[in-house]
Amino acid sequence: MSRQLLLLLAALAAGTALALLLGAKNLGTALAIGQLCFAAMLVYVLMRD
């Protein structure tokens, strides 16, 4: 359970950080990219178990 939560939070943080590093216009745009990464990781976590 905690490993799954860690994966989800890491995907959100990594997606947001990567978007900022690649030149997102503002934090809101970067967080939207982070949400997409979170959703993709959620699908992975749900399908894996």
User: pTM for this one?
Assistant: 0.90
Locate 7 and state its tokens.
Answer: 């994966």
The pLDDT assigned to 20 comes to 95
Q: Residue 42: what pLDDT?
A: 97
Of the candidates 7, 27, 25, 8, the one whose C-alpha atom is nearest the C-alpha of residue 17 is 27
Tens place of pLDDT for every residue, the chain, 49 residues?
Answer: 899 999 999 999 999 999 999 999 999 999 999 999 999 999 999 999 7
Six-digit token pair at 2?
């905690």
Query: Are 41 and 14 within 8 A, CB to CB?
Result: no
The pLDDT, as a whole number, for residue 41 is: 97
Which pLDDT value is given to residue 34?
97
The amino acid sitting at 35 is: Q
The pLDDT assigned to 1 comes to 82
